[in-house]
Amino acid sequence: MSSEWPLWEIFIRGQHGLNHRHVGSLHAPDAEMAIRNARDVYTRRNEGVSIWVVRSNDITASSPSEKGPLYDPSNSKVYRHPTFYDIPDEVGHM
């Protein structure tokens, strides 16, 4: 069995001014080929103006089981939202 090409995650900036966004993955022998393949696989209809490729193995992801400990602390901090504060109508838009 020959060695399988590594997996790359593909991020595409759809338009100028937007963030790169994850669109999927593909296999390629190296970064240069990953970009070429991404051009063919993910931008056949002008979907992008810029491509990032990252080896899937190089991505560290938060684990689904940590959801609680990671995000719960922000639940109690309602004062981080503008709606926490009552501003009288007379003050006008703020």
**Beta carbon of residue 3, minimum distance to other proteins (angstroms, whole number):** 6
Pick 3 or 75: Cβ nearer other proteins: 3
Residue 70 makes contact with other proteins by CB under 8 A: no
Contact 56, 4 (CB under 8 A): no
Are 26 and 52 spatial neighbours (Cβ–Cβ below 8 Å)? no
Place of tokens 């938060």: 62
Q: Which residues of 4-18 are buried (b: 16+ CB within 10 A; e: fewer)?
A: eeeebbbbbbbeeee
Instruction: Mark 19-58 with x for binding to other proteins (rule: CB under 8 A) and - for no binding.
Output: -----xxxx-xx--x------xx--xx-------------
Query: Considering beta carbons, is residue 59 or 78 the nearer one to other proteins?
Result: 59
Instruction: Say whether residue 81 binds other proteins (CB under 8 A).
Output: no
> HSE of 21 in the Cβ direction (CA atoms, 13 Å)?
13
Contacts with other proteins, residue ranges (CB under 8 A): 1-5, 7, 24-27, 29-30, 33, 40-41, 44-45, 61, 63-64
